[in-house]
Structures are given as C-alpha cells and as structure tokens.
Structure 1
Amino acid sequence: MWSSEHLDLDAYLTHLGHEGDRAPTLDTLRAVQRAHVLTLGWDTLDSFLYQDVRLDVPSIQDKLVRRGRGGYCYEHTLLFAAALEKLGFRFTAVSGRVQLGADSTTPRPPTHAMLIVDVEGTRRLVDVGFGASPLEPIDLTDGARSEAGPWPYLLRRQIITHGSPGWAVHQLGDGPEGPEGWTVRQVFTETPQYPIDYAVGNHFVATHPRSPFVTRPYVQRLSTDRHDTLDALVWTTERPGGEAPVTETVPPPKVPQLLADVFGIRTDPQEAELLVARLTELDRQS
C-alpha cells in the first residue's frame, strides 16, 4: 500500500547512518526514527516556490536523501511508511490538526501526517514530520511521555476538537490547554488514513492561497541541543533549559548560504536564484 517496492531501503538506511538490526522490533523503530528526524531536512520550499509537492516514493527519496533537500510532514511520513513497510512493521496512518496558536472551536484542517505503529504488543505514535519531532515512538496510552529529545512531549487521551474524543500531543508552553505548563501541539483521532487521503491534504497545503506554506518559506532543523527555524527571513535558534531564543533577520541574498550552513538544505544555483527573488519580493510587500 505504501509503495515500499519503489524504496531503495539500503540507500535510505545508509544515508541515516543506521547499521543496526533491521528486524521489526521496538529497538529498530527507535533507532530509525531518531536517525530520520536528526538527519533528513525539513522545509516548505517546493510549496512556496512552485506550489507543487510530489508524494511518490522515488521523488521523495530523490529529494530528501539524494539531493539534500528537505520536505514537510507528508513527504517525511510517506518515506518513513515505505521504510517501515519494507522492514516488516505493521502500522496505521492517521491525520492530525495542528493547534498551536489556534482556537479549538475553529479547527484547522487535518493536514499533519503521523503513524501509529504496532510493535511488540504495544501501539506507539510515530511523528517524524513536524520538524521539531519527537526522537522516539510514544506509547499510545494516556499520560505517556517522551523524554528522548531536547524537549519533552506528553500524550493525553481527552476531548478534542468540537467535543470529539481523541488524542492530544502536548509540548511545554504557556497555553491553558494542558497541565503543568503544557500546551497542545496537535490533536488526532485513530481514523485510518490512506495514501489518497494524504494526497488530498497535500494538495491543500501545497497549493491553497491560505496555506501558510504557500505564502512564505518555513525551514527547520532539530539537533540534540538546539532547534533552528527560518520563517521567511527570520532565523530563530532555541535551546533547551530556559534560555531566551536568539532571533536574527537575514537579508534575502544570504538565505541560500544560511540554508546550507545551518539547516543542511542544498539548493541548486537556479533554485537559489529563484528563492532570493521571491524572498526579495516578499520583503518588499511586508
């Protein structure tokens, strides 16, 4: 179903630096998820520059693995799903609604792709496509936490959008939705999703004029001690431990080099030229 026959698994795992066991175990899942999140880039450049994001596995692998570009949740999740399918894992795809900064009474569309993996008698949430993603699977039980990365996450079973029961992923923040200073990052139900469902959501995210990924570029890189983002021309570095974020406005001509040096995102000369031109236009309109 997830087109794993088109995936070069050896090339994918080699790029991730995974030399361990390939058996469909929890240890394998943890290792591959961590390597995927920390290695592969995250960006929305294709939707910003071209309003065209391809979701076939060969295109995603060429873009994220071979060409050194990044992608967003649909690309990351479909690539990871193909890898899990080829490794022999059983899983269900789901869609979530990102809630950060949104009123839950006026929900955003369910355009965040995730997986629920059945492994060793447990069901675990795997989210490799958020950019600042958890570095490990999260047990699908109320109150489960992830402490593997620089920032913790909390999973709660609760009433979500419009009174429906479901799950909420919490991150540390100042919102009122969660306990102990937690705030809701995204909510989801366990309704199974299929590649065609992701194709529909991807079309909205990549092409709709109200999609934030169409109106400006957004780039992320997570490491074990920092999280960098580029939102249009604003570069922000956050570190765990309560340090204040460091923010800088970057001139459009310097963005391609910043992408390479800080985010590990490679753009070819033609794409870099187009990006600078579009960012210059965006800057003039602001």
Structure 2
Amino acid sequence: MTEHDDGTGRRWDGGLLDLDAYLARIGHTGDLSPTPETLRALHRAHVLAVPFENLEVLLGRPVLLDLPALQDKIVRGARGGYCFEHARLFAAALERLGFGVTGLSSRVGMGSDRVRPATHAVLRVETAETPETGRVWICDVGFGAGPLEPIGFADGAATADSGWSFRLERRAAPGAPPGAGEWTLRERRADGGGWLDLHTFTANPQYAVDWVVGSHYVSTHPRSPFVRRPVVQRTGPDVRQALHGTTWTTTVRTDGSRRERKLEPHEVPKVLEDVFGIALDAEDAAALAAVLERLPADDGPAEVPAG
C-alpha cells in the first residue's frame, strides 16, 4: 500500500505516478508546491499538451482507467484520452503533489434542457491555502474544448483566455429539495453567439470506480458518439483543432472564426499526427481508415453526449 492509497478506493493512486515522466509529458518545469499558481500552471500545461481522443474505442480496445494503464498510454505512449482518462491522471498528479482532490461527475448538455447521463468527469481541488481562504477550484482538463485554467468553485466565478470566457453558475435543481443546487459551466462564444451551457454537476463526491462505470457506458452504449466515429480535439493558446468523423475544424480563439475541411479516410492518420500529435502505427492507422470508410455520409451528432 502506497502513501496515497488507503485501501478504500477513495484516493487517486498518486504514489504510483511516475511524476517526472508526467511533468515531462506536459512540459511543466515550474514550482510544484500545492498553491493556486502551481495549479493554474499544471492545468494549462496538461490541456495544451494532451489531446482529447476516443480512438481506442474505435480500434476495438477497452478504455482502462487504472493508473499504470493511463501512464503507459498517455505519458509513455504520448497519446490522449477522453475525460475520464484525463481527470483520473490529473487527479493522481495533484494528489501526489499535496493538493486535496475530489472527483465529480457532470451532465453534458451543450445548451439542451434535457436531462443527460453523467458522462463527464471534473475535479474539485483544494490548495495549501484553502484552510485559510476557503477558496476551492474546479479543474476541467478533459472536456476537449474547456477552459485552459481552473475556475473558482463559486457562483459567478469566471476565467477568460484569448477571447473565450467561461463562467460557473449555481442554480436550483428542478424538483430537488431546497439547497440541492446544481453548478453549470458556461462558455461565451467569441463569435458573438452568447453564453452556452456546457455541462452541469453537483458537489456529490465520485470515486475512481464511479468513473469506471461512466467510462464503460460511453465507450459501449450504441448511442454514444464515441462508439461510431473519431472525436478528437486539441486546444492551443490561440486555436482549437477538432476532428469529428472525417471533418477537421480549426477555430480561432480570438474571433471565433472557423475553417472546415472534409478528409478522405486515408488522410486522417497523417492529420492526427501532424495536427493533434497522435502517432498511430501502421496497423492502427489502417484499422482506423477502415472504420472511417464505413461511416454513413450523413453521420451527425449522437443522442447521448459525452464529455
């Protein structure tokens, strides 16, 4: 049993993390003390370095959330992952560095009023200053198109970067007892499209085993967007790159302008490597191209969103 494993499954296996390798993967060379400044730097570095991707699902392999598997894939293999993978790895790193970490599960809405399944993972994080200041943070490293830095866990807390702004709001939960509020992360589009509700969560703690259940759902449910087409995103300081199916979209953060290109299936592996930093071997590249060849021409959004 390690220093960061109490045998109950309530912690994040920080003691198992190859910290030096993780820091090299995300390019962080700064301070490691559990302060808000370090948290912001780590969050930004992780989001910029590690892409969002669901390729294992399409290649017929299970998505594993144990820390050794995540290190092999994301840290040593220089791959990306979807929200549960990102949040699980980031939680281990923060725990290792002395931050207080609580997992949360969120419902991705993207503007819809329908109740969606809780298929997104975020973190509630305390720093060394929290006992004195009471200030707590929400870290959302695995949304794919979320904030570059943590956002304060407080009604009206906001963060802005390169023209895109995010805001956290607390709202009454419909049909719930008084005081049972929900928290919604909202994004203000740089193109003037107004505010969009991205996902909604409560403060109910979630553990690694809960995320295993959620991950299994989004990687196997027939209506999940992750089981039928690539969903790949990479955030840069000034642009977002996204691949949905065979459509490659570049969005400029400063003004919200978009450029789209439809790729041929055989072009996708090279774009994954050159643009998203995901290098597939020849066998996986061929298997992915075969999946893309089978996509219907009108392949649109699935009904079960995932973060």
Tell me the CA shift for residue 129 of structure 1: 0.3
Instruction: Letter of the 1:189 partner, please give it.
Output: T
The answer to whether 1:116 aligns with 2:124 is: yes
The answer to whether 1:30 aligns with 2:30 is: no
TM-score for the superposition, normalised by structure 1:
0.92
Q: What SS does the aligned partner of 2:52 have?
A: strand
Which residue is equivalent to 1:168?
184
Q: 1: CA distance between counterparts of 2:270 and 2:98?
A: 40
Q: What SS does the aligned partner of 1:43 have?
A: coil
Q: 2: CA distance between counterparts of 1:54 and 1:118?
A: 27
Instruction: Letter of the 1:44 partner, please give it.
Output: N
Q: What SS does the aligned partner of 1:191 have?
A: coil
The CA RMSD over aligned residues, in Å, is 1.8
Tell me the CA shift for residue 173 of structure 1: 4.4
Which residue is equivalent to 2:289?
276
* Structure 2 counterpart of 1:133, from 143, 146, 153: 146
Q: 1: CA distance between counterparts of 2:30 and 2:61?
A: 38
Q: 2: CA distance between counterparts of 1:76 and 1:252?
A: 27
Cα-to-partner distance string for 1:159-199 (whole Å, 9 max, x where unaligned): 3465662111001249xxxxx92110100000000011001
Instruction: Letter of the 2:251 partner, please give it.
Output: E
Identify if the C-alpha distance between structure 1 residues 26 and 117 changes in structure 2 by more than 3 Å, giving closer, same or farther: same
Identify if the C-alpha distance between structure 1 residues 49 and 149 changes in structure 2 by more than 3 Å, giving closer, same or farther: farther
Q: 1: CA distance between counterparts of 2:241 and 2:174?
A: 30
Which residue is equivalent to 1:151?
164
Larger displacement relative to structure 2 (264-273 or 236-245)? 236-245
Gaps of 5+ in 2: 1-10, 300-307
1:1-286 aligned at under 5 Å gives the runs: 1-50=11-60, 52-102=62-112, 104=113, 106-119=114-127, 120-121=129-130, 122-148=135-161, 150-160=163-173, 165-173=181-189, 181-283=194-296
Identify if the C-alpha distance between structure 1 residues 244 and 31 changes in structure 2 by more than 3 Å, giving closer, same or farther: closer
Cα-to-partner distance string for 1:211-258 (whole Å, 9 max, x where unaligned): 110121100010011001000001111112334311110000000000
Instruction: Judge conservation of contact 2:50–2:80 (CA < 8 Å) in 1.
Output: yes
Instruction: After the TM superposition, list the runs of 4 or more consecutive aligned residues in structure 1 that deviate by more than 2 angstroms.
Output: 159-164, 240-244, 283-286
Q: 1: CA distance between counterparts of 2:204 and 2:64?
A: 24
Q: Percent identity?
A: 46
Tell me the CA shift for residue 283 of structure 1: 4.6
Instruction: Judge conservation of contact 2:240–2:251 (CA < 8 Å) in 1.
Output: yes
Instruction: Judge conservation of contact 2:84–2:121 (CA < 8 Å) in 1.
Output: yes
Instruction: Judge conservation of contact 2:105–2:121 (CA < 8 Å) in 1.
Output: yes
Instruction: Judge conservation of contact 2:163–2:255 (CA < 8 Å) in 1.
Output: no
Identify if the C-alpha distance between structure 1 residues 97 and 285 changes in structure 2 by more than 3 Å, giving closer, same or farther: closer
Q: 2: CA distance between counterparts of 1:110 and 1:69?
A: 25
Gaps of 5+ in 1: 175-179
Instruction: Letter of the 2:181 partner, please give it.
Output: P
Higher share in helix = 1
Instruction: Judge conservation of contact 1:51–1:207 (CA < 8 Å) in 2.
Output: no
